[in-house]
Structure 1
Amino acid sequence: MRVISGSLGGRRFNPPNNLPTRPTTDFAKTGLFNILNNHFDFSELSFLDLFSGTGSISYEFASRGTSRIVSVDQDRGAVEFIRKMKEEWKIEAIDIVKNDVFKFLAYNKEQFDVIFAGPPYPLPQIDELPGLVLDKKILKKNGWFILETNQHHKYPQFTELMQVRNYGQTHFHIFSPEHGLKELD
């Protein structure tokens, strides 16, 4: 696995094989960050990474200059790996929270510009995530919530859904309370 672009671009990281994660592919990650690059100045963002796993998405935001990153995962091995990479690469911007994502969302009051959730695809509560994030009002004005799923998840009931981007088996559902139903360029 590698960081695609930015100050850490090209750096490789090798998470332990026993982590219960499904990392976002480089192909999907490249597509997602091409979209984000056209809409955000990373140096001005705050970012919440739910189901952080290996930390891959958090590293991409850090590499592009995001100064406030919160990475949440309940798996001890994942949290230890992110902490190891944070120290090894001297990434000051990442705060790591070892907690169940749903418990974190219940008590979190901080708002973020971008929230990314890459949950396990078979997670029974996966379809609850858009409502939880949007109802909690933890997105800043013009913020985006990006939910990574496979092709079996659809969210037409949300007017905040701006678009779905497909990269092979990976689907990114992009929600924004301020831009409901607006197409991305």
Structure 2
Amino acid sequence: MRIISGLYKSRKIIAPKNLPVRPTTDMAKESLFNIINNLYYFDDISVLDLFAGTGNISYEFASRGTNNITCVDQDFGCIKFINQTAEAFYMPIQTIKIDVFKFLEKSTLQVNIIFADPPYNFSDVQFAKIPELIFQNNLLLEDGILIVEHSKHTDLSSLINFSYSKSYGGSVFSFFEIV
């Protein structure tokens, strides 16, 4: 994986092969950040990266100037890799090792952008629980968005506060907003 833009543009980050991850492709990530770039100033926002995996999305935010980034993942290897990478690049990324659903049930953190990249094989019930907990617990700031990455075989358009989706190859980003 590589960082698309910003301070660390073109830097390659190689994750250990034993991590249980499916990193967002460079093409999909570039398209996603083009959308976000039209909505926010990166240095003015806070980000919560759920099911953070390798930290790929968080590194992109940090490279573009975001200084308030929190990564949540339950896998120790993923958290360790994110911490090592963030330290090596002096990136302002905090990590929390916990099950994402437990985190969402207890958290009082409020951010501008929540990015969730759960396993593509999640059930409809598991996918639905993500926006449900986020909006129920007011984890987004007033101008905030939730972005859920999922397979093109999953349709999230019936979920609470769904706004629109964008498709890139086999991946889809579904956007949710406070209404």
Q: TM-score higher than 0.5 here?
A: yes
Write the distance in 2 (CA, Å) between the matches of 1:172 and 1:113. 17
The letter of the residue matching 1:144 is I
Q: How far has the Cα of 1:127 moved from its partner? A: 2.9
Q: Deviations over 1:111-155 (max 9, x none)?
A: 000000001111231232121212211000010000000122223
Written as runs of structure 1 = structure 2, the 5 A alignment for 1:17-166 is 17-91=17-91, 93-124=92-123, 125-158=126-159, 160-166=161-167
The normalised TM-score by structure 2 is 0.95
Write the distance in 1 (CA, Å) between the matches of 2:5 and 2:48. 19
The letter of the residue matching 1:94 is I
Write the distance in 1 (CA, Å) between the matches of 2:32 and 2:158. 23
Over the aligned positions, Cα root-mean-square deviation in angstroms equals: 1.1
Three-state SS of the structure 1 residue aligned to 2:152 is coil
Task: Show structure 2 runs of 5+ residues with no match.
Answer: none
Identity of aligned residues (%): 44
Write the distance in 2 (CA, Å) between the matches of 1:129 and 1:19. 23
Q: How far has the Cα of 1:159 moved from its partner? A: 5.8
The letter of the residue matching 2:93 is I
Task: Answer whether contact 1:150 1:169 (CA < 8 A) is retained.
Answer: yes
The letter of the residue matching 2:171 is T
Three-state SS of the structure 2 residue aligned to 1:175 is strand
Write the distance in 2 (CA, Å) between the matches of 1:90 and 1:67. 11
Name the residue aligned to 1:167: 168
Three-state SS of the structure 2 residue aligned to 1:72 is strand
Task: Answer whether contact 1:127 1:153 (CA < 8 A) is retained.
Answer: no
Q: How far has the Cα of 1:8 moved from its partner? A: 1.1
Name the residue aligned to 1:5: 5
The letter of the residue matching 1:67 is N
The normalised TM-score by structure 1 is 0.92
Task: Answer whether contact 2:161 2:178 (CA < 8 A) is retained.
Answer: yes
Most deviating of 34-43 and 116-125: 116-125
Three-state SS of the structure 1 residue aligned to 2:155 is coil
The letter of the residue matching 2:70 is V
